[in-house]
Amino acid sequence: MKIGVLDIQGSVEEHILMLKKCGVVPVSVKRIEDLREVRGLIIPGGESTTIGKLLKRFGLFDEIIKRARSGMVIWGTCAGAILLAKNVIGQKGKIAVDNLRLMDITVERNAYGRQIDSFETDLDFDFGKVTKKIPAVFIRAPKIVNNEKTVKILANHEGEIVAAIQGKLLATTFHPEMTGDLSVHKLFIGMCK
C-alpha cells in the first residue's frame, strides 16, 4: 500500500520514516500525479498559511478536495489539522489560512502560545476498541475549539480537544511523527485499508 506525505513544507521526513517503520510505501506528494498513486495522504505540521498558499500554487488544493470527496483518507497533523478544518480562528491581524474546509471542526491557531511554549506530554488516545496512553509533542500547536456531532473526539489535553476523526478524515493538533510511537500512524494506515 502507498501512502502519501504532502511534501511542500513541514515535518515530511519524520512522517516518511514512521510510515516505513509501519511497513507501507511512503510517497512524497509534490504534484497531482503523485497524489493519484496513493491510498491516503498525510498533511504534515509546518506553517499553515505557507502550506495553504503552496497547495494552490502547485495545483494540489482543488485536487485534494476532489479526492477527499471521493473517499481518499486524509490525516492532518498540527498545521495539517488547521488546513482540514472548516473554520480557523487566530490572532487578529494575522493572514487568513487557505484551508481545505473538509472537516467539521473549528481550529484555533497557535492556541498554546509561541514556539517557546512548546511541550511534550502523554495523552489518553481512543483507538476504538482500546484507549492507550501515547506520547505527544505540541509545537506552536492549535486546538480544536468546536466540532459537529459527526466528529468523534479521540484525545483531549487538559479539557481541550487535540485529536478527532470524521469519516475518512483524521486531525491531530500534536506531532505523533516526533515520537517513537507508531500507534497513530497505524490507526491511519488502518483507515486507508
C-alpha distances (whole Å) from 117 to each of 37, 112, 169 are: 38, 7, 28
- Classify 193 as helix, strand or coil: coil
Candidates 14, 15, 157, 175; catalytic one: 175
Closest CA to 27 of 63, 36, 114, 168: 36
15 catalytic per annotation: no
Candidates 108, 177, 185, 192; catalytic one: 177
Q: Going along 31-166, which residue ranges are E strands?
A: 40-43, 73-77, 85-89, 103-108, 119-126, 131-138, 143-147, 152-157, 160-166
78 catalytic per annotation: yes
For residue 79 the three cell numbers come to 498545521
Candidates 14, 78, 185, 192; catalytic one: 78
Give the residue ranges of DSSP H helices in the chain: 12-21, 32-36, 48-57, 61-69, 79-84, 183-192
Q: Active-site residue numbers? A: 78, 175, 177
